[in-house]
Amino acid sequence: MAIIFNEKEAVFNLCTKNSLYQMKSDSYGVLLHTYYGKRTEPVDYSYLICKRDHGFAGNPYEAENERTYSLDVLPQEYPSYGAGDFRRSALKICRADGTCALELRMAGYEIMEGKYSIPGLPAVYAEEGNKADTLKVTLKDTREELYVHLYYGVMEDLDVITRAVRVENRTEENIYLERVMSTCLDFSYGDFDFLTFYGRHEMERQLSRMAVHHGVQSVGSVRGASSHHYNPFVVLADQKAGETNGECYGISFLYSGDFLAEAEHDQMKQTRLVMGIHPDNFRYLLEPGQDFWTPEAAMVYSSQGFEAMTHAFHKTVRNNVCRGKYKNARRPILLNNWEGTYFAFTGEKLLKMAADAADMGVELFVLDDGWFGKRDDDYSGLGDWYVNEKKLGCTLGELSEKIHALGLKFGIWFEPECISEDSDLYREHPDWAFAVPGKKPMRGRYQLVLDFSREDVRNHIFDQMCKVLDHAQVEYLKWDFNRNISDVYSAVLPAERQGEVVHRYVLGLYDFLERLTGRYPDMLIEGCSGGGGRFDAGMLYYTPQIWCSDDTDAIERLRIQYGTSFCYPVSTMGAHVSACPNHQTGRITPIDTRATVAMSGTFGYELDPAKLSEEEKEEIRVQIERFKKYYELIQRGEYYRLTSPFEDNCYHAWEEAAADGSEALVSVVAKRCYSNMAPEVVKLRGLIPEAYYEVHCITENDGDRKEGGGYPGAALMYAGLPMPRPGVEYESFQYYLVKK
Ligand code: DGJ
């Protein structure tokens, strides 16, 4: 059992392969957080707690005159608002009488085999063979029958601990939840950096690393989606931590709506990190007898830097978050028509694209936006999910049949959550879109958002989609969402429940996706929100891949995919080769470099093949074969960030290596090229030091290196692999290493 309860000391120990997480119920029944770090013997770590009389640090009544006992400075497991801890709280409630002060004390616990799940919400699950246990600790309000159940999933071999919270109202009055965080970590000692992933549309998940300083530093979203702007994944790291050294704690929030992560450095130089649903747009009414589950947070501790943390998250996301047929089955190499045609296509044009794609070895043709309703631009049509047969020149079934006859699978785009004002659906049901009574709603990309908290709205869209999907052979679906949510008001909820709408919306979205994946279990669904505006572990529970960014420029993608890689594996990152000059940046890069970058993703093409030269088509044929050959290594190997694209170096390099070190694929992109270049080496990782490796350059130009040979793993890792001189700007190189 990975959960050890020391009854005498009232200490709970949660043990994973490399970490130990500990909490203790003290003599007042306060649940203290005593340790989270490297796995050791489960000693009672409360010896580290320093009890002193700190001025203006109040004392709970039951501590009588013990002025050294203050919740304001003690490390706590789930601190509540209003009862003497003045730091950021994990839970704030408001009772019917208007009072908010909440004192929680230990009321029981339960240790269970297996991993808990959460009704209606995504959660890490145990696969056959995984060791998983659950601890439930119950806290109770000292005043009333209000219970807070803290759930811990201990995934020993995965090295992951998950947390979720259930609040249960057994009082006879209504209670409002105003802030219910999913996790809280208190550290009495240490100076930390806060790593977060910021960005914007077409520039998602850029790494930011800042020292946690006195005060509160936070990232979050109140956009109704996890957002392009901050990702619901953060890292608290020792200030000296790097890829392969130092302690760090990664937290991934499995939720696709509003979130908040706050790091607070307090008066005693202690650090608290809380993460959960953003409270700004959240007020949840719990009637007597009702309960509320928070979404889940998954946490990984590493004593060996970011790389080990990343490997644990990659494995977990790939095998214990993603689900369905395509969790393991090879994903088809696709061609998407969006950047090739945008809205300007006909059925004939699509078939020509598909024929060219098939000829190059593509396996799936994806028809993006513009095939339905009245939709020749983005002003109209959303909500009218019936096929525009006039534009296609045939039914969707016929189009899909012709595409299948070319030997391709067929996929299609939807944006189920949105509605155009110029649509039949809006004319019929204007109240289905979010709008505050008496105020004109904000438009985003000319469109409004449907109230997906409503079952009737979801049912209508679901039925419409099924009618389309049932009349054509569709193996792939792209689920897009092209704006953020504002003007939140649900026409069917009373005033006192309007604070629940954004969360209910996310639950509605998950419910829809669950139904869809249940009905079409063999269909591959790719998530998307204007690129990577909802790239989170919550969505990955339903869609095993997500379009990473609307920026398809290979050089921009280096940073985007680098930031994304801290938590999310290659198999989740939608990445395509697009045309040059690139549509977003105007940059010109070699087609081989575009492929090198897209290969460390789900890999596909997004261009008009008719505009390719014969030489480029031939190159694509070679790329596709290369990707297929190294697919397993790329998609299931261990991922190594060999350099940082944010540093001022000439090359950016990364590697995918077999877990046993027997083979590896190293990808390098020359970010700069100038005359008389100074030599650079890149140090590899994940190899067996004493083994010898053959090094094969599998792209065209190997510069001046000698191909093959026998290089010891130790030499390649500790001395490095010399970088070739690029012959053209942004040239890329891929090396396949195999143990001799
Ligand atoms: C945004 C997506 O990210 C694009 O790939 C494309 O599907 C457009 N929407 C279509 O409107």
**Closest C-alpha among 341, 348, 335, 336 to residue 375:** 341
Mean pLDDT of the chain: 97
Q: Give the DSSP H/E element, type plus range, for residue 437.
A: none
Asked whether the predicted pLDDT for residue 19 surpasses 90, the reply is yes
Rounded to the nearest angstrom, the distance between the alpha carbon of 534 and the centre of ligand 1 is: 13
Residues 6 or more apart in contact with residue 473 via CB below 8 angstroms:
397, 400, 401, 404, 410
Asked whether the predicted pLDDT for residue 254 surpasses 60, the reply is yes
Is 553 considered catalytic here? no
Report, as an integer, the average pLDDT of 23-35.
Answer: 98
Tens-place pLDDT, residues 91-131: 999 999 999 999 999 999 999 999 999 999 999 999 999 99
Q: What amino acid occupies position 374?
A: K
Most informative mutation of 476, 479, 482 for ligand 1 (most atoms within 8 A of CB): 482
**Closest C-alpha among 458, 461, 465, 515 to residue 492:** 458
- Check residue 704 and give its pLDDT: 46
| Structure-token pair, residue 334 | 């696709």
**Would the CB of 258 count as within 6 Å of ligand 1?**
no
Asked whether the predicted pLDDT for residue 320 surpasses 60, the reply is yes
**Would the CB of 414 count as within 6 Å of ligand 1?**
no
Tens-place pLDDT, residues 470-528: 999 999 999 999 999 999 999 999 999 999 999 999 999 999 999 999 999 999 999 99
Is 731 considered catalytic here? no
Asked whether the predicted pLDDT for residue 701 surpasses 80, the reply is no
Angle at 675 between CA 670 and CA 676, to 5 degrees: 100
Rounded to the nearest angstrom, the distance between the alpha carbon of 414 and the centre of ligand 1 is: 10
The number of the ligand 1 atom at minimal distance from the alpha carbon of 531 is: 3
**Would the CB of 528 count as within 6 Å of ligand 1?**
yes
**Would the CB of 556 count as within 6 Å of ligand 1?**
no
* Neighbour count for residue 696 (Cβ, 10 Å): 13
Tens-place pLDDT, residues 578-593: 999 999 999 999 999 9
551 close to 205: Cβ distance less than 8 angstroms: no
**DSSP assignment of 143-203, as one string?**
SSSEEEEEEEEEETTTTEEEEEEEEEE-SSS-EEEEEEEEEEEEESS--EEEEEEEEETTE
**pTM for the predicted model, two decimal places:** 0.98
pLDDT over 70, % of the chain: 99
| Structure-token pair, residue 299 | 């946490």
Protein residue with least CA distance to atom 11, ligand 1: 369
Q: Which of 616, 638, 655, 731 is an active site residue?
A: 616
Distance, in Å, from the CA atom of 403 to the CA atom of 352, rounded to the nearest integer, reads: 10
**DSSP assignment of 91-159, as one string?**
EEEEETTS-----EEEEEEEEEES----TTS----PPTT--EEEEEEEEEESSSSEEEEEEEEEETTTT
- Check residue 1 and give its pLDDT: 81
The number of the ligand 1 atom at minimal distance from the alpha carbon of 478 is: 7
Asked whether the predicted pLDDT for residue 709 surpasses 80, the reply is no
**Would the CB of 481 count as within 6 Å of ligand 1?**
no
Rounded to the nearest angstrom, the distance between the alpha carbon of 465 and the centre of ligand 1 is: 18
The number of the ligand 1 atom at minimal distance from the alpha carbon of 550 is: 3
Confidence of residue 705 (pLDDT cuts 50, 70, 90): low
Rounded to the nearest angstrom, the distance between the alpha carbon of 446 and the centre of ligand 1 is: 14
Distance, in Å, from the CA atom of 442 to the CA atom of 421, rounded to the nearest integer, reads: 12
Protein residue with least CA distance to atom 9, ligand 1: 530
- Check residue 708 and give its pLDDT: 59
Tens-place pLDDT, residues 37-81: 999 999 999 999 999 999 999 999 999 989 999 999 999 999 999
Report, as an integer, the average pLDDT of 434-449.
Answer: 97
The number of the ligand 1 atom at minimal distance from the alpha carbon of 547 is: 3
The number of the ligand 1 atom at minimal distance from the alpha carbon of 606 is: 5
Report, as an integer, the average pLDDT of 433-451.
Answer: 97
Protein residue with least CA distance to atom 1, ligand 1: 530
Distance, in Å, from the CA atom of 257 to the CA atom of 505, rounded to the nearest integer, reads: 9
Rounded to the nearest angstrom, the distance between the alpha carbon of 67 and the centre of ligand 1 is: 60
Angle at 94 between CA 89 and CA 98, to 5 degrees: 130
- Check residue 702 and give its pLDDT: 55
Three-state secondary-structure class, residue 241:
coil
**Would the CB of 726 count as within 6 Å of ligand 1?**
no
Asked whether the predicted pLDDT for residue 308 surpasses 80, the reply is yes
Q: Which of 186, 363, 536, 592 is an active site residue?
A: 536
**Would the CB of 530 count as within 6 Å of ligand 1?**
yes
- Check residue 71 and give its pLDDT: 97
Report, as an integer, the average pLDDT of 225-249.
Answer: 98
